[in-house]
Amino acid sequence: MQDVIRECGKYFANLLRTARVGAEHLIVSMSEKVDSGDLLSENEYARLCDAYRCLHLIESNAIQSSKVKARCTKVNDLHANSECFFDFLHAKCAKSAISLLEFDGQTLRDGNSIADACTQHFGKLFASSDAMDDAWFSSLQESLAHTPRVLDSRAADVCEKYITEEEVFFVLTSLKNGKAPGMDGLTKEFILSFWSS
C-alpha cells in the first residue's frame, strides 16, 4: 500500500512540476509580448490570469506540504534535532577549552590534572614572597594609604548592588546578533527567544 501511495505522490509531483513549468513559460511569453509593445487579447489576458492563479496555487501547496514535512520530521526525529544542537554546542565549547597542557615537562590531557596545574601555577604566581612585616610590604601599605580614592562611598554603594533582570536584558539586546554572552555557546537570539517579557 505504501508503494502505491508513494507512486501516486511521484505522479502528482511530476504533474505539478509540468503545470508549473507551463505556467511560468506562458507568463514569460506574455510578458515579453507586452514588453515589446503589443496588446493582449481578452483570451490571452484570461490565459495569463489563469497561469498566475495556477502558479500561486502550486506555490501555496508547496509551502503547505513543506510545513507538513517539517512537522513530521520534528515528530519523527526529535532525538536527531537535539543531538545536532548539542553536537554544535560541544564543538563550540571545545574551541575555548584547554585539551592539552605542558607543565613541568609533562603533557597533561586529563581535565582534573590540567585544573590542578593551573591552580598550582596561579597559586605560586599570586603568593606573596614577602612576609607581612617586611619593609617592602609596609612601604606599599603606606603608599596605598596616601593614594586618593577614585570612588567615594556613595559611588561604591552604587557599584556594589545586585544586577537586575532589566540590566541583563538591556545588555543582551545591545549585543550584536550571533554573539554568545556565556561559555555555553548559546547566542543572543536564542536566549532572547525564550526570555519571558
Residue pair 73/41 in contact (Cβ under 8 Å)? The answer is no
- Rounded CA-CA distance 124/146 in Å is 29
**What are the extents of the domains in the chain?**
2-73, 98-147, 150-197
- CA-based nearest residue to 27, from 61, 57, 50, 60: 50
Q: What is the mean pLDDT of residues 46-74?
A: 72
70-122: pLDDT as tens digits: 555 544 444 445 666 666 667 667 777 788 888 888 888 888 888 888 888 88
Task: Please return the burial class of 23, using the count of CB atoms within 10 Å of its CB with bins 0-12, 13-18 and 19+.
Answer: buried
Task: Please return the burial class of 175, using the count of CB atoms within 10 Å of its CB with bins 0-12, 13-18 and 19+.
Answer: middle
Distances from the Cα of 37 to the Cα of 31, 33, 34, 45, 118, angstroms: 10, 7, 5, 15, 79
Which of 75 and 39 is assigned the larger pLDDT?
39
- Within 10 angstroms of residue 45's Cβ, the number of other Cβ atoms is 13
135-170: pLDDT as tens digits: 777 777 777 777 666 777 777 777 778 888 888 888
Strands (E) in 104-191, as ranges, are 106-108
Strands (E) in the chain, as ranges, are 101-103, 106-108
pTM for this model (two decimals): 0.32
Class level of CATH domain 2-73: mainly alpha
